Amino acid sequence: MAKLIASVTGSTLEALRPLGEQALAAGADLIELRLDGHGSPGPSFREWVAGLPAGRWIVTCRSTAEGGASDAPAEARARLLADLAGEGRGIVDFEYAAWRASAAARECLERVRSAGLSGKPRLILSSHHFEGRPVDAAGLLREIAAVGGVVPKVAWMSQSICDSLEALELARRAPVPGIVICMGEAGLPSRVLAGKVGAYGTYCAAASGGETAPGQASLAQMREVFQWGSIRASTRVFGVIGWPVGHSMSPLLHNSAFARAGVDAVYLPLAVDPVGEVLESFLDRCLHADWLNVGGFSVTVPHKGRVPAYLGGAADKLAQQIGAVNTLIVQDGKYRGYNTDYSGALGALIEELGPDRACLRDTAVDVLGAGGAARAVVAGLRSCGARVTLSNIVHDDTVHLADEFACEVRPWAERGQGRGAVLINCTSVGMWPEVDATPMPPESLPRYAAVFDVVYNPLETRLLRDAAAAGCRTIRGVEMFVHQAAEQFRLWTGREADVGLMRQLVIGELTRHG
């Protein structure tokens, strides 16, 4: 089984001790002690290292040439690492380029290489490339493996999400279990899915903020969010495609839902650059990589409007009408596209107004906005027979949307002056950090029975606070987010999601970071 290696670094060598012990206690399979940037270890540090569990720790003193902080000669670094590892039966990570160039360094590390722990390698030979993918990454991996009795490790700075797929393919085809990592945000799949392809292991930060390479997740994220210990060859892969995407709460939501339902699946944030044809290339490669076992994707900004053209006629009718796909499913080797934003909005409304879609028939609804969120909401409302009036700052956009879905139009300056029973804000006004802004004057709110704000950060927008003060029933944007995610879960798994769990997770996360 692939090993989860927590990199431990600190301002002093002594600071590594508590961090390393905490990482082992928190579930790291191994800890990597980064010695570069520090002086020679003293007796107390050496004694501590010697007492660590055999085979559970790695020592490295990375050179500045490969992203570390040590400018010591290769032989001196090799001697230090060999001495420490020999005392406590540890593992050494050393740069392959330095190993190849220095006979003295090879001689120092030979006893580490030749004395495996129960037949398992004690030497990792690594090669780091911060300028991008090495010309022949596969050849380099084979060359390192040919040394014999070592773990080959190749890492490079990802140029796009497709680098992660290549890294995983290299790890899958490696002659011996090795480590192949793409650095950077787009490289996260290469780290999380290492166990799926039979890699020796992958690296994470011992704690958030302690990253030793770009794009490292924390130990807690790997274990608690991405369910590291459950990932195997059969695990289905899902994720959210966006740019940027690191802030998304969807991985927490869906991975927790998969775990609760006993579904063998993992859900990842997928940083897909909108430049060029990265999106199309990524989707194509995922579809044809049978070993990856992709089940589907969420799609968020800025890609929702681009996916329908990629799918052609493989998007459902309402998604085509909305002009945006936020959910992809793999069926019979092909993608199918859907839009669950509209069903998320309907789910939130029906839960409050209930008991079913009939509650919206002939209901007068005022919608603010004419962007992507408004398109999805309006499509859902009109499919239920609601009477919709649109208002938006850019009048031409409003007219165009109204013509598509047979809605009425009211000028922005006259918003809230009709007879709507429900008000829905589909603009970004009031979204964090502009939390004191509101799209509707408070004096216009008492005429509404219910007010729904699709903005979910903050949990309680100013519009909702004003609406509650005016005696209106209020619906938070988090409800739409949760219901659309629940519909995605149903489409992917054929099961009903635990909406209560999803709501609890999102509210907890927003409250924690609010």
Averaged pLDDT in 10-residue chunks for the chain of 514 residues: 94 92 97 91 92 94 93 95 88 97 95 80 96 95 96 97 97 97 96 97 90 88 96 97 91 96 97 94 96 97 92 91 94 95 93 90 96 92 96 92 96 91 96 94 96 94 98 96 96 95 92 75
Question: Three-state secondary structure along 293-323?
Answer: CEEEEEECCCCCCCHHHHHHHHECHHHHHHC
**Residue 451: closest CA among 366, 327, 513, 344:** 366
Catalytic residue among 3, 153, 196, 304: 304
Name the one residue in this structure whose structure tokens are 């996260």.
188
Global pTM reads 0.92
**Contact criterion met (CB below 8 Å) for 243 and 273:** yes
Tokens of 206: 């011992």
Q: How many other CB atoms are there within 10 angstroms of residue 448's CB atom?
A: 24
Burial 419-438 (b: 16+ CB within 10 A, else e): ebbbbbbbbebbbeeeeeeb
User: Judging by DSSP bridges, how do beta strands 334-338 and 327-331 pair with one another?
Assistant: antiparallel
Whether 304 is catalytic is yes
Q: What is the pLDDT of residue 354?
A: 85
**Contact criterion met (CB below 8 Å) for 156 and 170:** no
Q: What is the pLDDT of residue 117?
A: 67
Domains and CATH numbers, the chain: 3-233 (3.20.20.70), 241-339 (3.40.50.10860), 343-475 (3.40.50.720)
At 133 the three-state DSSP class reads coil
| Separation between Cα atoms, residue 424 and residue 428, nearest integer Å | 12
Tokens of 495: 């099961």
Crossing angle for the helix pair 161-173 and 278-288, nearest 10 degrees? 30
Question: Three-state secondary structure along 247-265?
Answer: CCCHHHHHHHHHHHHCCCE
Q: What is the pLDDT of residue 419?
A: 85
Tokens of 410: 């009211």
| Separation between Cα atoms, residue 424 and residue 345, nearest integer Å | 10
**Contact criterion met (CB below 8 Å) for 227 and 261:** no
Distances (CA, A) of 102 to 34, 76, 336: 21, 11, 55
Tokens of 409: 């139009």
| Separation between Cα atoms, residue 47 and residue 95, nearest integer Å | 26
| Separation between Cα atoms, residue 171 and residue 480, nearest integer Å | 40
At 456 the three-state DSSP class reads coil
Q: What is the pLDDT of residue 266?
A: 98
Name the one residue in this structure whose structure tokens are 């999380």.
192
